[in-house]
Amino acid sequence: MRKNAICPSRRAAALALSLVVAIPAAALASKKAPRPATEDDALIVIVHALNRLGYGPRPGDVERVRAIGLDEWIDEQLHPDRIPDPALAAHLASLRTIRLSTGDLLAHYEVPREAKKEIQARRAELGDGASEEQMREAQRELMQKYRDRMDGTPQEVVQELQSAKILRAVYSERQLDEVMADFWMNHFNVFAGKGPVKFMVGEYERDVVRPHAWGKFEDLLRATAESPAMLFYLDNWLSADPNAPSFNDRGARSAFGRRPFVPRPAGEPARKRGLNENYAREIMELHTLGVDGGYTQKDVTEVARCFTGWTMRNPRQSQPQFLFDERIHDRGDKVVLGHRIRSGGKNEGDEVIHLLATHPSTARFLSYKLARRFVADEPPKALVDRAAETFRKTAGDIRAVVKTIVASPEFASPAARAAKVKTPFEFVVSAARASGAEVDDARALAGRVAAMGMPLYLQQPPTGYKDTADAWVSTSGLLARLNLALDLAAGKVRGVSADPSRPVSAQTLGSPEFQRR
């Protein structure tokens, strides 16, 4: 080796060090991105739009947008049903689970009950002194025994969900549609790691969130409220009038998918149901009004009472379905946000949804979140005000609100350019797109997203993942990004092959500028 030559590993280490120092400084610097004097301003705005309304440009995208005109491209993106997207299906074809119903997934991918009992017995047999590795090995042995009765494992279901999300973001021509699906899935977050929710998430995204992502917010809110995934995740399927029949009383079993009625032995006390406030709190704090939206703890309790009886059939077997069970509903009158709600069965919950969806605080909270996603971590107040006014005038028309934001002068202003730090998901997908890479297997990319602190569909708190810089600017997170950039440029990411005719350097993908959008 020549005296002054630098070996690849040392060069990578030096680059890593420089970026770890540079990126946090950039993230904390002025939000106004530097602009070379020789660059065409129209080109800069196109790149900005591709980064904000999608997951960054692929080779040739900038030229295509310039040819049809940026305004025309944005209008197309606001109406994704008008955009042909034939190639995406081929990339998703190998993911067999993403098209299955929750019932099919439960039937063919859930661990059999006998296996669960055997696993529990083996754990008890091993005792507290057993190592984690011994526990895992025992579980693997027992699972192998039951594999012939399963088409796959629960882990495969989650992996294919994650792969599909990445492939859609990388390949779909309906880029803004993918951004909005991600926005609403995060806004109405459910945790795939909780019980059978992992088998419900696919249907939740496919049949609940995506069909309502561009319509009236009230319709989206109602659809999520009645979704088995949300009902189970936030426990509302168990919420009941404390004075409703006990679990052991005749007739109470149907809503909860329990065994046929067995009379309670003499002297055995009935297990009382109770009011669960989880969903009532989150529908106000996270889904509609916002934490400062003007509700009180009393409102939380009253909303929870309105939603008693909103449960489901077959939560852990067959095909879970929304069910309103009058027998466990609190039939008294309620007062929510000063509004009296008369006893009316399921209509009480529907009335709460309408009240919250049309509340001024909801208009402002959602407009703020959308403006934060598309413009800046702290969006201009005037823009939020205009978006909220659009929300109120259109009765919560999501497309109209998004159009108000992306057609605004604030969206295209120099201050908004490169003002956002990419989330791990956005970074990984944008790197794959920028490099023109072919993604044959997205599992490795999903693993990189998880390593950066954002495992897809696995955010346990209902808050969802943050989309502001403070959540993602850290030494470990940025090093993980750099490692991906190095490996992607070197062709070392399993299942991903870069286009040799369009080389993109690790320095480009790992640069401070590329971390931002």
* Domain shared by 299 and 364, yes or no: no
Is 323 contained in some domain?
A: yes
Which DSSP category does 86 fall into? H
Q: Report the C-alpha gap between 198 and 190 in whole angstroms.
A: 9
Together in a domain, 303 and 348? yes
Q: Give every CB contact of residue 189 below 8 A, 6+ residues apart in sequence.
A: 459, 461, 462, 463, 464
On the CB side of 465, how many CA atoms lie within 13 Å of its CA? Answer: 25
Phi and psi dihedrals of 109, rounded to 5? Answer: -125, -10
311 and 342 share one domain: yes
- pLDDT at position 40, please? 73
Query: 323 and 396, same structural domain?
Result: no
Q: Residues 366, 331: one domain?
A: no
Does residue 222 lie in a domain region?
Answer: no
Q: State the average pLDDT over residues 487-514.
A: 82
Residue with tokens 């049949």, as numbered in its chain: 207
Statement to judge: residues 240 and 319 lie in one domain = yes
CB-based burial label for 331 (10 Å; 0-12, 13-18, 19+): middle
Residue 477: inside a domain = no
Q: Quick one: pLDDT at residue 10? A: 40
What is the per-residue pLDDT across 426-451, written as a single tens digit (0 to 9) for each? 999 999 999 999 999 999 999 999 99
- Give domain status of residue 295, yes or no: yes
Distance from C-alpha of 290 to C-alpha of 361, rounded to nearest angstrom: 7
Average pLDDT, integer, range 394-419: 97
**pLDDT score for 317:** 72
pLDDT of 21 strictly over 60: no
Q: What is the per-residue pLDDT for 487?
A: 93
Asked if residue 23 has pLDDT above 80, the reply is: no
pLDDT at 159 over 90: yes
Fill in the amino acid letter for 219. D
Residues 476-492: tens digit of each pLDDT: 988 999 999 999 988 99
Half-sphere exposure of 48 (CA within 13 A, CB side): 25
Residues 325 and 394 in one domain: no
Q: Are 289 and 397 part of one and the same domain?
A: no
80-89 long-range Cβ contacts below 8 angstroms, 24+ apart: 80/174, 80/176, 80/177, 80/214, 83/173, 83/174, 84/173, 85/172, 85/173, 85/174, 87/171, 87/173, 88/167, 88/168, 88/171, 88/172, 88/173
Alpha-carbon distance 311 to 244, whole Å?
14
Alpha-carbon distances of 492 from 455, 477, 498, 506, 515, rounded to whole Å:
21, 19, 10, 12, 20
For residue 515, what pLDDT is reported?
86
In whole angstroms, what is the distance from residue 385 CA to residue 381 CA? 6
Residue 303: CB atoms within 10 Å: 26
Assess if residue 35 is contained within a domain: no
In a domain, 315, yes or no: yes
The pLDDT-based confidence of 207 (bands split at 50, 70, 90) is very high
Contacts of 204 (CB under 8 A, 6+ apart): 190, 224, 227, 228, 229, 230
Residues 466-480, mean pLDDT to the nearest whole number = 92
Residue at a domain's end among 416, 435, 460 = 416
Domain count along the chain:
3
Residue 39, domain member (yes or no) = no
Higher pLDDT, 203 or 511: 203
pLDDT tens digits for 209-234?
999 999 999 999 999 999 999 999 99
| Residue 336 and residue 372 in one domain | no
Question: Last residue of some domain: 127, 149, 171?
Answer: 149
Are residues 142 and 245 both part of a single domain?
no
Tell me what pLDDT residue 348 has.
Answer: 98
423 in a structural domain = no
The whole model's pTM is what? 0.87
- The answer to whether 244 and 327 have CB atoms below 8 angstroms apart is yes
Average pLDDT rounded to a whole number, residues 150-165: 95
Q: Give the 3-state secondary structure of 374-403.
A: HCCCCCCHHHHHHHHHHHHHCCCEHHHHHH
Contacts of 471 by beta carbon, 8 Å cutoff, 6+ apart: 423, 465
- Average of per-residue pLDDT across 323-349: 97
Residue 130 domain boundaries: 111-149
Is there a single domain that holds both residue 235 and residue 330? yes
Distance CA 398, CA 401 (A): 5
229-281 residue pLDDT tens: 999 999 999 999 998 876 544 343 444 443 333 334 444 444 456 999 999 99
> Per-residue confidence at 28, pLDDT binned at 50, 70, 90?
very low
What is the model's pLDDT at position 393? 98
Of 298, 295, 304, nearest to 274 by C-alpha is 304
| DSSP string across 437-466 | -EES--HHHHHHHHHTT--TT---STT---
Which of 320, 340, 357 corresponds to the end of one domain? 357
Among 320, 319, 307, 329, which residue's Cα sits nearest to residue 222? Answer: 307
| Contact call for residues 163 and 441 (beta carbons, < 8 A) | yes
One-character DSSP codes across 280-317: HHHHHHTSSS-TTSS--HHHHHHHHHHTTTEEEE-TTS
At residue 341, what is the residue type? I
Q: What is the pLDDT of residue 366?
A: 98
Assign residue 464 a region (left: φ > 0; alpha: ψ between -120 and 50; beta: otherwise): left
Alpha-carbon span 460 to 321, nearest angstrom: 23
Provide the phi-psi class of 491: left if phi over 0, else alpha when psi is between -120 and 50, else beta: left
What mean pLDDT, rounded, does the chain reach?
Answer: 87
State percent of the chain over pLDDT 90.
Answer: 71
Q: Has residue 369 got a pLDDT over 80?
A: yes
Give the model confidence (pLDDT) of 102-148 as tens digits: 999 999 999 888 777 877 787 787 777 778 888 778 777 777 777 77
Do 305 and 241 belong together in one domain? yes
CA atoms within a 13 Å half-sphere pointing along the CA-CB vector of 142: 19
pLDDT > 80? residue 201:
yes
pLDDT at 501 over 90: no
